[in-house]
Amino acid sequence: DTAVSQTPKYLVTQMGNDKSIKCEQNLGHDTMYWYKQDSKKFLKIMFSYNNKELIINETVPNRFSPKSPDKAHLNLHINSLELGDSAVYFCASKGGRAEAFFGQGTRLTVV
Amino acid sequence: QQPVQSPQAVILREGEDAVINCSSSKALYSVHWYRQKHGEAPVFLMILLKGGEQKGHEKISASFNEKKQQSSLYLTASQLSYSGTYFCGTEAGTASKLTFGTGTRLQVTL
């Protein structure tokens, strides 16, 4: 059983489109994250949710909207995609002061 | 602001040792270490908590200087499988914010 699964793995889309990435964890963790990894390989935190509540929003453009229907799911919807949004997006989950588990990543390419 | 790691990159021969450093400007509660291989997700290696508790990998060790907000990861007798990018992750207060460092690319050669 995959602990943190995100779909799709690859996403190629045109500028201006709207797309969603889904994430699910079966670890019973309270905290879930979205990270963006750009071409320089920096892992930048975007959002953090704790028990379905938004805890951290790291000055991400409003075009990015996370949604957590329950504590096992955290989805990311992106409106009006731009070239600069191309990156690998990772979902992760964490239980308290323990380690984080990452999903496989979604490579988003905006053309 | 993200933690700063040094060196940015290092090349080792198999069997050599390496040290990767992570420095934060904030008072830390914990430091995590992860390794990411090309095209894959980061994988947990070790966690060091304020107060001295450690959990993690058998063959990799780390230290955490709480006063200096610094951590070091020690890779001894490196193997080819150690190649990848190493990230430290820090928690400064809230467990809901895990911030990753700038990364260190390590390559082990024959």
Q: What is the pLDDT of residues A57-101, one digit of tens each?
A: 888 999 999 999 999 999 999 999 999 999 999 999 998 888 999
Q: In whole angstroms, what separates CA B79 from the centre of its chain?
A: 17
In angstroms, the CA A86 to CA A95 distance is 29
Among the listed ranges A61-65, A91-95, B42-46, B52-56, which one has the minimum average pLDDT value? Answer: B52-56
Cross-chain Cβ contact A94/B98 below 8 Å: yes
The per-residue pLDDT of chain B, averaged, comes to 91
- Report the residue from B30, B41, B97 with minimal CB separation from A97: B30
> Which has more confidence, A13 or B29?
A13
| Confidence band of A24 (pLDDT split at 50, 70, 90) | very high
Average pLDDT on A28-45 reads: 94
- Report the residue from B44, B99, B105 with minimal CB separation from A99: B44
Q: Beta B84-91 vs B104-109: how paired, if at all?
A: antiparallel
* Phi and psi at residue B76, to the nearest 5°: -110, 150
* Phi and psi at residue A58, to the nearest 5°: -85, 70
Nearest residue in chain A measured CA to CA from B40: A104
pLDDT at B84 over 70: yes
Average pLDDT on A18-33 reads: 96
Q: DSSP of chain A, one letter per residue?
A: --SEEEE-SEEEE-TT--EEEEEEE-S--SEEEEEEE-TT--EEEEEEEETTEEEEE-S--TTEEEEEEETTEEEEEE-S--GGG-EEEEEEEE-TTS-EEE---EEEEE-
Average pLDDT on B68-76 reads: 93
Q: How big is the A-B interface in CB pairs under 8 Å?
A: 61
| Confidence band of B62 (pLDDT split at 50, 70, 90) | very high
Q: In whole angstroms, what separates CA A46 from the centre of its chain?
A: 8
Q: Which residues of B touch A (CB under 8 A)?
A: 2, 29-30, 32, 34, 40-44, 47, 49, 55, 85, 87, 89, 91, 94-100, 102-103, 105
Average pLDDT on A3-18 reads: 97
